[in-house]
């Protein structure tokens, strides 16, 4: 009989008390209040870096396409919250213009705003750029920003 009482006492203690539950929820709330803003900052920073990397990838695509096809190619860019980038080149047959790899919508993909001092970077068949000067692109989101500078010969620096 004594053993039965011990078991029933353990069974009645199988759950959490209201006080324990409230303390647990308070701890989760405090940790969330600290972690969520930090996570949002990190996500905004990564979105800005991702947009910059996307531009440098397309820049390399334009350079490689010019050298491979033996004709001029260009990286085109627009500014604003709906910024886009795309590469054009001559067709493989040499007549007309192809868009290489499609248009990338930086604004929707990364949620960034882009400002740029130029609208295109032209590459000659030897793979070297022929822009008249430096093009500076600025990427921003949620208080984070980054800059990409493209030299007249088409090399990116940040």
* Residue 89 CA: distances (Å) to CA of 32, 64, 108, 144: 50, 11, 25, 34
Confidence of residue 30 (pLDDT cuts 50, 70, 90): confident
What is the reported pTM?
0.76
DSSP state letters, 104-137: EEHHHHH--EEEES-SEEEE-TTS-B--SS-EEE
> What is the gyration radius of the CA atoms in the chain, in angstroms?
28
Do β-strands 135-141 and 120-123 pair in parallel, antiparallel, or remain unpaired? unpaired
Average pLDDT over residues 86-105: 89
Distance between CA 83 and CA 96 in Å, rounded? 25
Instruction: Tell me what pLDDT residue 146 has.
Output: 94
Task: Give the mean pLDDT of 82-106.
Answer: 91
For 142, counting Cβ atoms within 10 Å of its Cβ (0-12 exposed, 13-18 middle, 19+ buried), the class is middle
pLDDT of residue 154: 93
Most confident of 20-34, 92-106, 142-156: 142-156
- pLDDT value at residue 33: 85
Q: What is the pLDDT of residue 34?
A: 85
**What percent of the chain lies above the pLDDT cut of 70?**
91
pLDDT at 39: 78
Residues 83, 111: contact at Cβ < 8 Å?
no
Q: What is the mean pLDDT of the chain?
A: 88
């Amino acid at each position: 009989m004594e053993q039965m009482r011990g078991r029933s006492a353990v069974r009645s203690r199988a759950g959490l008390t209201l006080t324990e539950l409230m303390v647990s929820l308070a701890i989760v709330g405090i940790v969330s209040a600290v972690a969520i803003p930090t996570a949002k900052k990190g996500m905004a920073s990564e979105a800005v870096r991702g947009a910059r990397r996307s531009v440098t990838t397309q820049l390399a695509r334009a350079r490689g396409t010019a050298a491979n096809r033996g004709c001029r190619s260009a990286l085109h860019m627009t500014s604003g919250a709906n910024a886009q980038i795309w590469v054009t080149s001559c067709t493989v047959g040499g007549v007309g213009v192809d868009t290489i790899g499609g248009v990338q919508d930086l604004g929707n993909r990364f949620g960034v705003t882009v400002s740029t001092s130029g609208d295109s970077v032209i590459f000659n068949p030897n793979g070297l750029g022929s822009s008249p000067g430096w093009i500076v692109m600025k990427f921003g989101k949620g208080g984070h920003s980054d800059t990409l500078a493209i030299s007249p010969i088409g090399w990116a620096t940040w």
